[in-house]
Amino acid sequence: MDENFTPRQVATALQVSESSVKRWCDLGVIRTDRTVGGHRRIPLEFLLDFLEKTNRRVVQPSAIGLDQPQEIGRISDQGALNRESLQATFETALIAGDESICRRILSAWYAMHGGIATVSDELLGPTFRSIGENRENGKVEIYEERRACDICYRLLHELRRLLPEPQGFAPLAMGGAASGDGTQLPSQVIEIVFREYGWRTICLGSNLPFRTMLSAARKHMPKIFWLSSTYIENTDVFLSEYARFAKSLPKGIMLLVGGRALNDEIRQKMVFSSHCDTMLQLSNLAKTLRVGSRPADPQI
Ligand code: B12
């Protein structure tokens, strides 16, 4: 994906006239670069700023290369790449802090496999498992791991901003991670999974006491509350606080749990409505339940 767009590409992506885009460029509403020959070029970053400022969304992502499967082959000079080498390139770029390469691979993977679930299950999950191992054995520095997380937050945020705004009547999914668990990536992915199927979402973040998650659930009454658990500090404390939370959750809210910390032994001691191991499973659930909610989304 070229990250500098012409006014025509942006106009097609937004489904507005090219002259409007040029006018916005000249008025400074869209920050714009110029080529040596004086032509307007709009970097992705500036386009995203504009979308945020004006609360607009991309209507036709293909115009800016967001659904071009052939991109995947263009990412490397080596030509056609398989998943393993693409994942390895992503990991190397992530550790090196090369955000631009990471953006290209993530966008291409997204386009190629049609959604964030596969990006997470097949690209982010394995990459971070490997980064985690390499940090433990000293091959990756702590700062490199943290920077890798930061890059992924930004890329996921960009992706999220490109999705259409959910409609007001859409069902709500809300969730986060409990106290002691500072992991943010899974919940950010979950938010996008739901958004892809038109859900409204509220991501509460990480490191949250169960009592505050309960307040949020009572206030907003989501259809689904997700709990993402990557790390559990003290299993007994977690299980007793979780049990109180699950029991106090208002009726009608589905409690969905997932994450690498919830092994069979822990899960057997928990009460929940649904458990998923992967984002693809979650994606199927989000799709099925969305179809069941009314009014039906015509895109599904
Ligand atoms: C990044 C990271 C951190 C970062 C998190 C940054 C952030 N703000 O997000 C920071 C630096 C905070 C961190 C801290 C710690 N970490 Co850490 N961390 C990781 C790492 C490298 C990646 C986790 C991640 O984000 N993965 C990306 C996600 C997308 O992939 P995933 O977790 O595999 O999830 C997949 C599935 O499980 C599923 N899924 C996940 N959640 C959910 C939820 C739902 C609802 C569903 C449906 C699916 C689902 O989908 C994903 C794939 O699509 C892992 C390594 C690893 N092997 O996972 C260690 C790891 C999780 N950390 C670990 C540890 C020990 C710690 C610390 C205790 C270290 C310390 N001594 O201080 C602290 C404290 C934990 C805390 N306070 O959170 C251990 C946990 C081991 C254990 N016993 O549970 C791991 C496994 C590393 C290891 N091998 O030892 N960590």
pLDDT per position as a tens digit, 257-286 = 999 999 999 999 999 999 999 999 999 999
| Chain centroid offset of residue 88 CA | 20
Note the pLDDT of residue 297: 41
23, 40, 61 — which closes off a domain?
61
In this structure, what CATH number is given to the domain that contains residue 43?
Answer: 1.10.1660.10
Q: Rounded to the nearest whole angstrom, what is the distance from the C-alpha of residue 129 to the centroid of ligand 1?
A: 8
Burial call 4-35: b when 16+ CB within 10 Å, e when fewer:
bbbbebbbbbbeeeeeebbebbeeeebebeee
Q: Rounded to the nearest whole angstrom, what is the distance from the C-alpha of residue 246 to the centroid of ligand 1?
A: 23
**Do 187 and 150 fall into the same domain?**
no
For atom 46 of ligand 1, the residue with the nearest CA is: 258
Contact 32, 40 (CB under 8 A): yes
Note the pLDDT of residue 77: 41
5-50 confidence digits (pLDDT tens): 999 999 988 889 999 999 999 999 999 999 989 999 998 778 877 8
In this structure, what CATH number is given to the domain that contains residue 238?
Answer: 3.40.50.280
Domain span holding position 98: 71-162
Number of domains in the chain: 3
**Do 35 and 125 fall into the same domain?**
no
Contact 78, 123 (CB under 8 A): no
Q: Which residue has the higher pLDDT, 109 or 120?
A: 120
**Do 41 and 94 fall into the same domain?**
no
For atom 49 of ligand 1, the residue with the nearest CA is: 259
**Do 79 and 39 fall into the same domain?**
no
Note the pLDDT of residue 123: 95
Ligand 1 atom with the smallest distance to the CA of 231 is: 84
Q: Which of 147, 159, 230, 235 should be mutated for ligand 1, with most atoms under 8 A from CB? A: 230
Enter the pTM of the model.
0.81
Note the pLDDT of residue 300: 33
| Cα 14 from Cα 261, distance rounded (Å) | 42
Is residue 241 in some structural domain?
yes
**Looking at 209-263, which runs of residues are DSSP E strands?**
224-228, 254-258
Q: Peptide bond preceding 295: is omega within 30 degrees of 0, i.e. cis?
A: yes
Q: What angle do CA 88, 91, 96 make, to 5 degrees?
A: 125
Note the pLDDT of residue 154: 95
